[in-house]
Amino acid sequence: MIAIACAKILIVDDDSAIRHLIMRFLSQKNYHVQGAADGKSALAVFEQFSPDLVILDVNLPDTLGYDLCEKMQALTNVYILILTSRTDFDDKRKGFLRGADDYITKPFDLEELDLRIRAILKRRRVVSSCEEKPLRFMNILIDPMRREVMMGSSGIALTSLEFDLLHCLAQEPGRVWSRAELIQKVWDYNYLGDHRVVDVHIGQIRKKIESDVEHPSIIQTIRGVGYKFIDAPLT
């Protein structure tokens, strides 16, 4: 694992003033940075630069950031931080559904941006010997070292954030987690946004692992509180 301060970050924004401001700021924080003004050039830089994280504006001249997010994550398991002036939760929900790891709205504080970047990159931390053991259940296998989820002989494709959230729940089957606790544990910092983001990601995980999304048997909703993982571990 490389140090957070050595991480490579691609900034994609058609506003040159904002793009260069972020690039200068992150360079001073010792990140390796590259920039792009549109989707086409962003993909070209992405393939050459192979960033650890992309800061991605939603409104680009030739595409939507949501679409670019999907394309980039289809190529690598890159982290995506959406940057936009849109503040409506439905727009945020759309970004998270397309694979974004976090979302920050303009105008923004540069130090908060750095805080969010560090929180995202911390997910690459080395896990402890206890945490690295595969979790085996009746219906599912979760391997934190390989970051793989299997149901029977079939692999389940999860985003980085979806994997972290599922692994967190599965480490303590039967424990009820509040949304705030999951935000603190998985997002790993004082998340300032809407806690409904947890519901969005739980919904996406359920679509991939539950046989009946309307009546989930693995991740159960505890009304008014949060969620718990209820599959029985194998002994």
C-alpha 154/C-alpha 43 separation (Å) is 30
pLDDT at residue 193, as a whole number: 59
Q: Which of 67, 94, 124 is the last residue of a domain?
A: 124
In a domain, 139, yes or no: yes
C-alpha 149/C-alpha 144 separation (Å) is 9
Residue 75 DSSP label? H
In a domain, 129, yes or no: no
pLDDT at residue 83, as a whole number: 87
pLDDT at residue 124, as a whole number: 61
pLDDT along the chain (235 residues), means of 10: 72 95 94 96 93 93 91 85 79 78 88 89 57 84 90 87 91 92 77 74 93 92 92 63
What is the CATH classification number for the domain harbouring 151? 1.10.10.10
pLDDT at residue 142, as a whole number: 94
pLDDT at residue 233, as a whole number: 62
pLDDT at residue 127, as a whole number: 44
Q: Are residues 27 and 111 in the same domain?
A: yes
C-alpha 93/C-alpha 90 separation (Å) is 5
In a domain, 64, yes or no: yes
In a domain, 234, yes or no: no
